[in-house]
Amino acid sequence: MPTLPTPEKGTVSEIENALSKPYNCILFNDENHSQEEVSSQIIKAIHCDPGKAEMIMLEAHVTGRAVVITASFERCEHVSAVLSEIKLGTKVEPA
């Protein structure tokens, strides 16, 4: 019985597999913006209610970082770009 070849590193299959896994968009604590500015930008980025935005902002403020959203790589990159519009520190990493 023939065996199927395994995908090589960097092939479409490997890339598709990596992109389909969940990622986190991380927000880092920010000392240059008011809490209201950060919360407003979170609302803009993920279209959440003010209470959720405040919880995310406070977690980042108190612990140094907070998960803004867990989603596809592309969605996390988009959220990161919106947060970065006002120069907030972000990172996209595997969940």
Kindly list the domain boundaries of the chain, sorted by start residue.
Answer: 22-94
pTM to 2 decimal places = 0.80
Average pLDDT rounded to a whole number, residues 45-55: 98
DSSP SS3 for 43: helix
Chain centroid to CA 92: 5
Residue 53: per-residue pLDDT:
98
Please, which pLDDT band fits residue 56 given cuts at 50, 70 and 90?
very high
The domain 22-94 is classified under which CATH number: 3.40.960.10, 1.25.40.10, 3.30.1390.10, 3.30.70.1430? Answer: 3.30.1390.10
Classify residue 62 by burial, with Cβ atoms within 10 Å: 0-12, 13-18, 19+: exposed
C-alpha Rg value of the chain to the nearest Å: 17
Per the prediction, the chain carries an average pLDDT of 89
Question: Half-sphere exposure (CA, 13 Å, Cβ side) for 55?
Answer: 8
Of 13 and 39, the structure prediction assigns the larger pLDDT to 39
